[in-house]
Structures are given as structure tokens and as C-alpha cells.
Amino acid sequence: MIRTAALLALSAAMPLAQAAPDLTTVSERSGFLRTGRYDEVIALCSAFQSAYPKQVKCIDFGTTPEGRPMKALIVTRTGAFTASAARQRKLPVTLIQGGIHAGEIDGKDAGFQALRALLENRLAKGALDRQVLLFVPVFNVDGHERFTPNNRPNQRGPVAMGWRTTAQNFNLNRDYVKADAPEMQAMLALVNAWDPLVYVDLHVTDGAKFEHDVSIQVEPVYSGDVAFRQAGLALRGGVIADITRLGSQPQSYYMSFVENDNPASGFADGVSDPRFSTGYFQLRNRMAMLVETHSWKDYPTRVRITHNAIVSVLEQVAAHGAAWQQAADAADARAVRIAGSAVPLSWKTTEKSRMVDFKGYAYTRTPSDVSGILMTRYDETTPQTWTVPLRDEVLPDLSVTAPGAGYVVPAAYAAIVAAKLRQHAITYTVLAAAHPAAKVETFRADKTSFTAGSFESHQRLTVTGAWQAEPRDLAAGALFVPVGQPKARLVMAMLEPQAPDSLLAWGIFNNAFERKEYMEEYVAEDVARAQMAADPALAAQFRQRLESDPAFAKNARARLEFFARRHGSWDERFNLYPVMRSDAVLR
């Protein structure tokens, strides 16, 4: 009895052997019919760390507006589980992100499946010895939990999925520069800390029906630092070659017709504005890849293709990442010396085209008795090669000469702009003293155009005008943002007024372009007569404008404003962009 009791006590004291955690996904266990809810991501993040404590660390990098943790897995065999350790060991960092549009959820399931294969050394052997992988299974977490079977009517599987936008209705893939969403601010903080060499954004495209199954787009290829584009081309070419060998039919351009729903119109390649991931990271001299599986392929097929693309990216970075990191560092060094150079801020696809063979299906185009429009119907049982135009000559559109030293933000706007600069880890200084009559350049808009409606919670603004030398008084507390820094292109994209996703374009400075003070019409009439009586040349100028400009002649407000602009009450700050340029460093 005593011996039995002792054995029982000993066995009670010994820990029970724990079963290995299950690292498979709901998707795999359902035969790729379903995808799991976000609690699966939380559980798998922890389970991978438990199963591979020396290779995986599960972290929270943010919290969503609805209070959910934003999970990331740090995966490497190097032991570099901090950004400082990765930098010290000069390890390239690859950030792979799923679910920015949470209905397009292939990346989450493919990523966990690929991660397991890498950790088991079944695929991409040695890849984790030469880089750090950051895997974000779901970026748009709150949108992921807006879960129904009907969120993607033009997509085959899974049975139910999340929603495109966040709980605050932000489309995160329109938010990289303006960074309104708390989720994007958390992502940028992660990016600022780790400085990934390659950022992979996993999507599912909408559109027509055809045989091709995935688009692989990379920047810099057309845009960004010219020399660094070779690395972007190599990454794109390597991944396309890898997944082609595995049976995919990829294209290097976004497979959306030039004319909506018309296959004969062909395709146009191009560069996205920096509100998008691929338009943003080239401004930081880093690579971004957009993976767009085809929505009309079934879910098992799309997950397989995404899985193969993920593995290929990690193999490519393992093989070439050290050289690509050197190329990125060299691009950083060139950006520091960008002052006085012409810098493209937007890009255009020319009308030049070449004919390409594209694997589609037989189709008809007939008028619809519902909508009345011409409707395309595809016969997926009859493959058909389309010979269609592809426009892929991409050239700079708007180019601006970088300032000699940097940008100046007046004290009144310093807090607003500084907050945005910090989100992107852009360097700036605060002026400790006033600078009376500082030699700067100002931009006065001669034409402004506000959008009629809201876009991503902003009323956007476009302006025409030009920079010109004009002394301005600068108060202490103004910001000086040097252009001589690695993120020089991003600085210009944010602060040049005519850049497509500048702070001005997003409406941050709309107040500066709204007229606030007026004089009554009867007062303006007296002012006009007094000015013409005092200045016959002005009266002649007014008469000549009436005769030569019919629109002006018919516009009573414009006629009175002609004189109001010459009156002492006119607001000289109206239409003055509240950011200046300087050819000298200000302190």
C-alpha cells in the first residue's frame, strides 16, 4: 500500500506528455471548402510558437477599433527575433500579408500551410536560415469577422468569408500614405521597426473569366530608383518562373480590361499611386509584390497558387536577398543626394501597344434585357486564345525638381503634418527660433478643384500653380523636413501639392483654399469705381478683360473679385499652400 501510494504521488507530480499542437487549418480539414474565423489565427499563432519555440515568435503588433489583436508571426532559424538583431546581422526581412481585403482570404490559409512546410523542411530548405519572415495572416481583422457567405458574389469559394473594408469602412489598400486607419498605423509601425526588403500583399482579383490564374506585379519595375528596378525585375521574373513550373499561368500585369467588360480592348500595365502597397514601398526604396489570384478559380486552386508564390518569394529572397539589400541601401544613399534632381511623382501608360496572345474562353457580347448595356457571356467549356493589345510602355507623368534643402511647414500646421511624418518614420526638425523674411518658395494655386463627393472619408483636392520665390516670416515651432534622407521620394509624394496622394490631395489643407472673408456687393461696387478713378490703367485693363473674356464678362462675382483682389482686405493667404520649399537648411 505504501509503495502504491508513493507511485501514485510520483505520477501525479510528473507532467503529462503533451500532444503536438495541430497546425493544420480549417481550410485544409474541410478540403479547402471553408476558411476559419479569426480565433483560428490567434490559436495557430500560439500553436506555431509552441511547436517551434526556436523558430517562431507570435506577437501582437496592434489592436483594431473593435478591440481585436493584430497578430504577426516572426519566423526564422537565425534567432533574430528583434528588428535590431536582424539589422545587426544584416538579414533581409520579408513581410507577407494576407487579408488586407478580408473577403480575399487565400493568403491566410496558404500562408499557414506554407509556413508548416518550411518549418518541417519540406519546401524551401534553408530559406529561413538566411532571412526573417514576418507573416501577418489577416491585416483587416475586423473586416474578417464580418463573415457571411455572400460577401464576394464574383468569387468561387470559400463558403463564407470576411468583408472588404474595416469596421470604420476604410479600404486599407487605399490608405498607405494617408494612414487614417488604426490598422494601417499599426502596420506602418511594424514596417518602420523591421524595414522589410520585400513586402508581399496577397489578394484575389475581380473581373472577367479566362484561363490565366494569377497576376504577379512588382515595383520598383517601372517606378522608383532606376538602378533598384533591376532587383524588382529579378524578383518578379523569379517568382513567375517558379510558379509556372508548378503549373500556373501567370501574367505580370493586372488582368483588367482597358474597357470594362470588353475582352477585345486588351490590357494596360501601369504604376499604382502610393495609396496602394505597390505604389508606396518603391518610395521607401523597398520592393512590393502584389499577388492577385483569379477569383473564378476555385478556392483549392487559389490557395495552392498563393502557397506556391509565398514559397517562391522566400526562396528568391534566400538566394538573392543579400545582394538586393545592398541594392536597396545604395538606393537609400542616392535618395539622400536627390536635391535638385527631377523626381517623377506620377506615371502614365502611353497609347503604344503590342499584340499578345491571352488564354481566354469563347464569349458573346449582346445587349442585356435587364440593364440595357452590352453584356459579355463566357463559355468556360471552350478555351479560346485572344489576340489583344497590351499597353505596357510606362513613362513619368508629373515630374518635379526636388528642393535644394527641404520643405518648411508653418507652425500653425506643424502638429498635423508632424503626426503624418512620424507615421512614416520621416525625419524632420522643429525650428527653435523665428526666421523673419526667410528665403523660401511658395506655391499659390491659380485653380482649385474639389471632388463633388467623399472618397475614403476625404474630400479630395487638385490644384494647378507653380512654385515661386517669395520671402515669408517663419515662427519658431515650424517644421523643416529635409529632402536629403532615404525616404526623399516619400517626402516629395506627401508634400508636393500636385502629387496624386499628397497631403494636399487628400484634403488635409482644404481650409487654406476656402475663401473666408468677403465684402458686400454694394461695397465692392464702390471699391471698383474708386480704384478705376484712381488708376486709369487698371480701368483699361478691366475693359480689355471684358471684351476678350466672355465668361468673365458674364460672371458678376468674377468681375467684382477683379477689384477685391486689389483691395487691402483681400486675404493674401487664400490659395497659398501652407507648405514651403527651401534651398537652405533651416534650424
Query: Which structural domains are found in the chain, ordered by start?
Result: 27-333 (3.40.630.10), 354-396 (no CATH), 399-515+574-582 (no CATH), 521-564 (no CATH)
What's the rounded Cα separation, in Å, for the pair 541 and 50?
A: 81
Task: Provide CB contacts within 8 A for 341, sequence distance 6+.
Answer: 401, 402
Instruction: List the alpha helices (DSSP H) in 120-181.
Output: 141-144
In this prediction, residue 207 has a pLDDT band, given cuts at 50, 70 and 90, of confident
Q: What average pLDDT does the segment 444-467 reach?
A: 97
Q: What average pLDDT does the segment 184-203 reach?
A: 98
Q: For 271-280, write each residue's pLDDT tens digit.
A: 999 999 999 9
| The pLDDT value given to residue 208 | 94
| The pLDDT value given to residue 518 | 86
> Kind of pairing, strands 132-136 and 93-97?
parallel
Task: Provide CB contacts within 8 A for 164, sequence distance 6+.
Answer: 101, 102, 103, 104, 140, 143, 151, 171
What's the rounded Cα separation, in Å, for the pair 156 and 265?
A: 25
In this prediction, residue 21 has a pLDDT band, given cuts at 50, 70 and 90, of confident
Q: What average pLDDT does the segment 466-490 reach?
A: 98
Q: Which residue has the higher pLDDT, 355 or 12?
A: 355
| The pLDDT value given to residue 18 | 56
| The pLDDT value given to residue 262 | 96
Q: DSSP 3-state assignment of 575?
A: coil
Task: Give long-range contacts, CB 8 A cutoff, 24+ apart: 431-435.
Answer: 431/474, 431/475, 431/476, 431/477, 431/478, 431/479, 431/480, 431/586, 431/587, 432/476, 432/587, 433/476, 433/587, 434/473, 434/474, 434/475, 434/476, 435/473, 435/474, 435/478, 435/586
For the record, the C-alpha cell of 99 comes out as: 487579408
| The pLDDT value given to residue 542 | 96
Is residue 34 predicted with pLDDT exceeding 50? Answer: yes
| The pLDDT value given to residue 368 | 93
| The pLDDT value given to residue 206 | 85
What's the rounded Cα separation, in Å, for the pair 320 and 238?
A: 10
Q: What average pLDDT does the segment 389-407 reach?
A: 98
In this prediction, residue 570 has a pLDDT band, given cuts at 50, 70 and 90, of confident
Residues in the chain, overall count: 587
Q: For 59-87, write each residue's pLDDT tens digit.
A: 999 999 999 999 999 999 999 999 999 99
Is residue 11 predicted with pLDDT exceeding 80? Answer: no
Q: What average pLDDT does the segment 248-277 reach?
A: 97
| The pLDDT value given to residue 10 | 34
| The pLDDT value given to residue 19 | 63
DSSP state of 180: -
DSSP result, 4-67? HHHHHHHHHHSPPPPPPPP---HHHHTTSS----HHHHHHHHHHHHHH-TTTEEEEEEEE-TTS
Is residue 306 predicted with pLDDT exceeding 90? Answer: yes
| The pLDDT value given to residue 38 | 98
Q: For 502-557, write each residue's pLDDT tens digit.
A: 999 999 999 999 999 888 999 999 999 999 999 999 999 999 999 999 999 999 99
Q: Is 249 exposed, middle or buried (CB count within 10 Å of its CB: 0-12, 13-18, 19+)? A: middle
What's the rounded Cα separation, in Å, for the pair 338 and 542?
A: 45
In this prediction, residue 17 has a pLDDT band, given cuts at 50, 70 and 90, of very low
What's the rounded Cα separation, in Å, for the pair 104 and 163?
A: 8
Q: For 313-369, write each residue's pLDDT tens digit.
A: 999 999 999 999 999 999 999 999 999 999 999 999 999 999 999 999 999 999 999
What kind and span of H or E run contains 578? none
Using alpha carbons, list the distances in angstroms from residue 437 to 203, 282, 433, 568, 579.
51, 37, 13, 20, 15
Helix then strand count (H, E) for the chain reads 16, 21
| Cβ atoms of 183 and 123 closer than 8 Å | no
Is residue 561 predicted with pLDDT exceeding 50? Answer: yes
> Mean pLDDT across the chain, nearest whole number?
95
| Cβ atoms of 408 and 349 closer than 8 Å | no
Q: What average pLDDT does the segment 171-177 reach?
A: 98
| Cβ atoms of 118 and 127 closer than 8 Å | yes
- Partners of 474 in the β-ladder: 435
Give me the percent of the chain exceeding a pLDDT of 70. 97
DSSP result, 291-331? EEEETTS-HHHHHHHHHHHHHHHHHHHHHHHHHHHHHHHHH
